[in-house]
Amino acid sequence: MGLAWRRWRWTKACAGKGWGEKLVYEGLDALNEFSYAAVVVLGEPEYYGRFGFKRAADYDLHCRWPETEQAFQVYPLGEDALTGVNGLVAYAAPFNRF
């Protein structure tokens, strides 16, 4: 089982304080504790790449929005988390509104 994250938006007053980085690391730690296999995100590759996210296409994973191939990324939470996993990553209905 995996989890999808949505992009965070910051006000100018909050930007540059390291809060996003803390949220990412805390989120990854919490999801690992709850035995999730992986996290997918639609976000800036330069930003999420700092935390170890990789292009989902490199794992033969894709989402319903083909124009987002560069932004669609995955972070396996274990060594073999994505072994034998490929194809379409389905999002919950509420996510499709964004």
CA distance 61 to 41: 12
Per residue in 10-46, pLDDT tens? Answer: 667 767 777 788 888 998 999 899 989 999 998 899 9
What is residue 96's predicted lDDT score, i.e. its pLDDT? Answer: 75
Distances (CA, A) of 8 to 41, 47, 83: 11, 12, 29
Q: What is the mean pLDDT of residues 1-15?
A: 61
More confident residue, 60 or 3: 60
* Whole-prediction pTM: 0.80
Structural domains of the chain ordered from first start: 2-97 (3.40.630.30)
Could you tell me which residue, 79 or 8, shows the higher pLDDT?
79
pLDDT value at residue 51:
95
